[in-house]
Amino acid sequence: MTPYRHRVNYYETDKMGVTHHANYIHWMEEARIDFLDQLGWSYDKLEELGIVSPVIGVECQYKAPTTFNDRVDVTVAIREYRCPKLVVGYEMRKEDGTLVLTGSSSHCFLDREGKFLRLKRDFPGFDQALRDLAAQE
């Protein structure tokens, strides 16, 4: 998979000129959406199929600051998949290779009524794609 690239916008920085910590979580979501697009299972497609995937946890370890106009590459990987729980890992690096952040987000899979889904039974193609990626880690 190709890493997601984000350019730090001026409005994402704080009074000290560094990126506000909350923005990294937005970039994790942007990268996760891009990752699913590359996988062939876009959020739009999942929602059309009735799959809802809320965030149930987020973890971040900040390693180095970013500032306006930095380019940050976000690598996404499946750390764990045991349906209905999915843990997505993130690594963010500046163009020069400086490690900016490591983190993860945890998700579950629900139907539109809020009931847990059994992806292996109900959406075997999506389930297998996640299993294949989890096995690579």
pTM: 0.94
pLDDT at 115: 95
Task: Convert the pLDDT of each residue in 18-42 to its tens digit.
Answer: 999 999 999 999 999 999 999 999 9
Domains of the chain: 4-136 (3.10.129.10)
**Choosing from 14, 44, 111, 132, which is the catalytic residue?**
14
Distance between CA atoms of residues 93 and 117, nearest Å: 34
Catalytic annotation on 14?
yes
| Helix/strand/coil percent split, the chain, to 5 | 30, 35, 30
pLDDT at 136: 83
Total Cβ atoms within 10 A of residue 57:
11
**Cβ(86)–Cβ(53) under 8 Å?**
yes
Tell me how far apart the terminal alpha carbons of the chain are, to the nearest angstrom: 13
- Is residue 102 scored above 80 in pLDDT? yes
